[in-house]
Amino acid sequence: MTKIIISIVWFLIFTKLLIFWVWLWQLKGYHWGRFKAHFETQKLRKIFFSFHGVRYPKLTLKTIIILISGILLEILILFYLFNLVLFLILIISAPIISSLLVLFFQIPTVILVKKTLKKAKEKKEQFKNLIVIGITGSYGKSSTKEFLATILSEKFKVLKTPKNINAEIGIAKTILNELKPEHQVFIAEIGAYERGKIKEVCRMLGPKIGILTGINEQHLSTFGSLENIKKAKYELIESLPRTIIVRGLPEDGIAIIRDKLDLRADDIRVEKEYIFFKVSGVNFKVNLLGIHNIDNILLSASCAQKLGMSLEEISRACLKIKPEQGGMKFLRKDAPVVIDSSYSANPDGVIADLDYLKTLRQAQGKLIIVMPCLIELGRVSKEVHKRIGRKIGEVCDLAIITTRDYFKEIKKTAEIGSLQIFLIENPKEIIAKIKEFCKNDDVVLLEGRVPKEIKSVKFF
């Protein structure tokens, strides 16, 4: 009887650990650099040693095969190698065993991906008149893609990569499953965590126009250096036959920029729900939150102009852009105001959102931010979080940081004036603190991937 109880307990513990590690690998896109970078955070150590709840991976053919293989391995061990010391060693070694299973099944995955990319390239090459536009950068890719698709849809039949899909396999599947003869333009958001990936995608896509949104420290831990990030993003430039549209000139590689387009915004006015500006005398009114969206509108407008649309046509098309396409929207417009910018977070985005938050301050109202620490910033993590801390100190009255990783750095530079700053990881405690602090004319900004329970709560 004792042997059966021990076997069941070990089986349940190891299965839970297996599920967790497969979830983490899937979360990081089965990318070794991103997986390794996750070990830099205290959050991982806390999750690893916690036995409360289970993180479930999204069930795909790959995860099902890995989990079944792992469970079969457990059953074999129970039947043939029952040993208490071995059981303890296997539990300690669960991360290694789970990772070895994942990496073993990466071999057929890589073969399948190559085959899928080849098929997508062959299909795309059948569409001789298709205009392919590639968009890359450290930040602003998704927003620019959404803005551009909305604008070009006024004149062309447009296909774009869905949501935040930007990996090579997602782009290939979009071509294979959705590209049709009636499409005139295909807009592909292209992401990468290592050098060579953008070049590989471009060999499949054959883009005619490229947009480089901007470069910062995002994913520095996987690239190793800012120089490597630049070189990876410039692979799009090197793959183009003619046009690259950039937010300002890069510091290097200027000689290979061909037919660069540049538009400027003047007479800028920012209101609660709209931004107003002029481009070459043409008025623009766009339902977006924050001045930082103008850069991506101009990139999109430059591309649309290149394809024959007038600024007047582009201005009219911009009236159809929705706030969520810019990554930030109102969850609640009345008092207290709640803004959702939880899609993702990068250093420039956090600073820009805080600048927008500052414009919403009411007479007696206070400004509140709820956010986690940022990840995958490598050796610049401390400096970036000190920079964010300074901006929080300038803008906010209350800051709730939801992860421990670089809380000390944020707190060190944020503690100025009347700001109150707390590290609170439990969603219920976060909600309680906001309710305790929040008044009728306050504004709450949910920045980055905060616990989902917070979004559905009425704070007042």
User: Domain containing 345 — which CATH number?
Assistant: 3.90.190.20
The answer to whether residue 131 is domain-embedded is yes
Task: Provide the β-strand partners of residue 422.
Answer: 400
Neighbouring C-alpha atoms within 13 Å toward the C-beta of 72 = 7
Asked whether 431 and 457 are in contact (CB, 8 A), the reply is yes
**Which of 78, 112, 146 is the last residue before a domain boundary?**
112
- Give, in degrees to the nearest 5, the angle at Cα 7 between 51 and 66: 65
Shared-domain flag, residues 298 and 347: no
Shared-domain flag, residues 105 and 137: no
Shared-domain flag, residues 193 and 307: yes
Shared-domain flag, residues 300 and 342: no
Q: Which residues of 76-113 are buried (b: 16+ CB within 10 A; e: fewer)?
A: ebbeeeeeeeebeebeeebeebbbebbeebeeeeeeeb
Query: Cα–Cα distance between 157 and 149 in angstroms, integer?
Result: 9
Shared-domain flag, residues 243 and 363: no
pLDDT at 84: 76
pLDDT at 348: 84
Query: Cα–Cα distance between 411 and 382 in angstroms, integer?
Result: 11
In tens digits, what is the pLDDT along the chain, a chain of 460 residues?
777 788 888 888 889 889 988 988 887 777 776 676 666 555 555 455 444 456 788 888 889 999 999 999 888 888 777 777 777 888 888 888 888 898 888 888 888 889 999 999 999 999 999 999 999 887 888 999 999 999 999 999 999 999 888 888 999 999 999 999 999 999 999 987 777 788 888 889 989 888 888 776 665 555 566 676 766 667 777 777 766 666 544 444 333 444 555 688 999 998 888 999 999 999 999 999 988 899 899 999 999 998 999 999 999 999 999 998 988 888 888 778 889 988 777 888 898 899 899 888 876 688 999 999 987 777 788 888 999 999 999 899 899 999 888 899 999 888 776 788 999 988 889 888 888 888 778 899 999 888 777 877 665 5
The answer to whether residue 121 is domain-embedded is no
Shared-domain flag, residues 163 and 271: yes
Which amino acid is located at 140 in the chain?
A: G
The answer to whether residue 153 is domain-embedded is yes
**Which of 60, 82, 112 is the last residue before a domain boundary?**
112
Burial of 386 (0-12, 13-18, 19+ CB in 10 A): middle
Domain count, the chain: 3
Shared-domain flag, residues 181 and 263: yes
Shared-domain flag, residues 218 and 361: no
Query: Which domain covers residue 360, as residue numbers?
Result: 328-456
Closest to 373 in 3D by CA, of 55, 51, 37: 37
Shared-domain flag, residues 333 and 313: no
Shared-domain flag, residues 155 and 171: yes
The answer to whether residue 365 is domain-embedded is yes
The answer to whether residue 315 is domain-embedded is yes
pLDDT at 186: 97
Query: Cα–Cα distance between 97 and 419 in angstroms, integer?
Result: 46
Shared-domain flag, residues 274 and 184: yes
- Joined together, the tokens standing for residue 57 give 């991976």
The answer to whether residue 120 is domain-embedded is no
Shared-domain flag, residues 82 and 174: no
The answer to whether residue 118 is domain-embedded is no
Asked whether 259 and 242 are in contact (CB, 8 A), the reply is yes
**Which of 65, 88, 112 is the last residue before a domain boundary?**
112
The answer to whether residue 119 is domain-embedded is no
